[in-house]
Amino acid sequence: MPNTLDPLLEAIALLERAWADAESSSDLSRPQLVAMNEAIGLVRRRLEAVHAEVAAGIAHESRRELGPESLARQQGFRNPALLIATTTGASTGDAARLVKVGEATAPRTNLIGEGLPAKLPQVRTALRAGRIGATTADLIVTFLDRILLKIGRERAGEVELLPVDKAAGLSVDEVRRLITRLEAHLDPDGVAPREEELRAKASMTMFQRDGMLHLSAVLDPERAAPVQAAIQGFVSAAFAARRDDRDLPASDADRRTLPQIQADALVHLAAHLLGCASTSPLGGATVVVRVSLDDLQTGTGSGLIDGIEQPVSIATVRRMAAGGGIIPWVCGGKGEILDWGRRTRLFTKAQRLALVERDGGCARCGLPPGLTRAHHIRWWARDHGPTDLSNGVLLCESCHHLIHDVGWEIRIDGTGVRAKVWFIPPSHVDPDRTPRLGGRARTESLAA
């Protein structure tokens, strides 16, 4: 029978091999640094799997009914989370989450001591293998506890596999986005109540201190969308102007940071509202709400606002679609040509909307659509590439330069907006050149 520590010891051995004969990190080559980083990640995730089981054991031995015999109390702590946090240097919140993950994934016993499988066996398998870490596991456990109450425990195995299967290799923020979209699909009736909850939390505060006006705003998805689109449009215009001014003397260069540009955007919007007549630099910023025709007609399901993670109800989609500057997106609607071949160099607005539907924003790093540009995969001038969807990709400025400067390749599998974008690393980054999934399909399990 395999030992619980075997996966962790295997990862530590991998870490030792990656370190090799180096005396310090400064002696590591670039390939070794990459290998070390990957090995450290694996060790950390597998260590968290073991720690979660131990945390569950501590919680079990500290349950309230034990009274003075509680392990935590005997060690001088009010509860198991405080014991774990104090001895590991973590926060009590992190310790409590570790206990929750452990209780959901550790083996169990019945009342007569017989062994039972873990409550969430697929999460346990992924956690012990090091495919996910404890924070990701906590997001999945919390999601499953919530969603299974609504759709029934009989679907537990099927629903558990969905986030577990997609979460490996994703950041915590990407997993959170994946779960948000998945929950809206599994429980469409819960989108509207969640909207009301978020809308009630919306607020903005203003106060002056040290000669500065301090603003703090929390906005629900519907009200956040036009604000975010307008500010991102201003930022994109500022970055475009900065590219055009590269030949200016250093003293004339735009040295504003992103937060400074965003502050200027807010000031510009307020000035326009008060009657400023100058030309807007927003670059035609538009809020795009995506929804299926069937959902729109039947009033079921949910919609997505580009750049906003939280899905919105069909009622909100209809209300927003009636507003100025906010459009529902229909691929290829009104007879727009989505493939132009060599007849035009620049991607049209219809093509860009189609790319946003496929890529979701920067196809590589996930920045919102307003901070991206449509680029030819096979260059227009050098490679005679066509201005077609199959030759287009949305990239932010940083990822665009990385692709070209480092030598990555991009491959599109399939056609239209359901195609998948793959990024292929150069051999010096990955000798096997294993393609890495990008675009919307990376974090949306339903974008098959």
The CA distance from 276 to 237, in Å, is 18
DSSP 347: P
Q: Which residues are within 8 A (CB) of 444 and not within 5 positions of it... i.e. 6 or more apart?
A: 178, 181, 360
| pLDDT for position 197 | 92
178 membership: H or E segment, kind and range: helix 172-186
Q: Dihedral through CA 353, CA 172, CA 445, CA 34, nearest 10?
A: 90
| pLDDT for position 124 | 95
Q: Which residues are within 8 A (CB) of 189 and not within 5 positions of it... i.e. 6 or more apart?
A: none
At residue 359, what is the residue type? D
The CA distance from 301 to 303, in Å, is 7
The CA distance from 247 to 447, in Å, is 43
How is residue 158 written in tokens? 């099927």
Tens digit of pLDDT for each residue in 104-124? 998 887 777 787 888 999 999
Cα 224 from chain centre: 18
Name the packing angle between helices 92-105 and 134-151 (round to 10°): 60
The CA distance from 265 to 340, in Å, is 34
B/e letters for 76-94, b = 16+ CB within 10 Å, e = fewer, are ebebbbbbbbeeeebeeeb
| pLDDT for position 326 | 57
Are the C-beta atoms of 422 and 408 separated by less than 8 Å?
no
The CA distance from 202 to 197, in Å, is 9
| pLDDT for position 445 | 56
The CA distance from 77 to 64, in Å, is 13
The CA distance from 106 to 129, in Å, is 14
Are the C-beta atoms of 182 and 446 separated by less than 8 Å?
yes
The CA distance from 343 to 384, in Å, is 11
Cα 204 from chain centre: 25
pLDDT by residue for the chain (448 residues), tens only, comes to 568 899 999 999 999 999 988 888 889 998 899 999 999 999 999 999 999 999 999 999 999 999 999 999 999 999 999 999 999 999 999 999 999 999 999 888 777 778 788 899 999 999 999 999 999 999 999 999 999 988 888 888 889 999 999 999 899 999 999 999 899 989 988 898 999 999 999 999 999 999 999 999 999 998 898 898 889 888 888 887 777 666 666 666 778 888 999 999 998 888 777 765 545 554 455 677 878 777 877 888 888 887 788 898 888 888 877 655 555 554 445 556 566 676 777 888 888 888 988 898 899 988 888 788 899 998 888 888 888 888 999 998 888 888 888 889 999 998 877 889 999 999 888 889 999 999 988 887 544 3
The CA distance from 238 to 254, in Å, is 9
| pLDDT for position 250 | 62
- Helix intervals (H) in 345-422: 349-359, 397-406
- 248-251's contacts with Cβ under 8 Å and 24+ in sequence apart are none
For 144-231, strand residue ranges (E) read: 203-209, 212-218
Q: Report the SS3 class of residue 14.
A: helix
- With a pLDDT cut of 70, the percent of the chain lying above it is 89
| pLDDT for position 448 | 39
CA-atom Rg of the chain in angstroms: 26
Q: State the CB neighbour count (10 A cutoff) for residue 16.
A: 10
**What are the residue ranges spanned by the domains of the chain?**
6-169, 188-329, 336-442
Strand partners, 313: 302
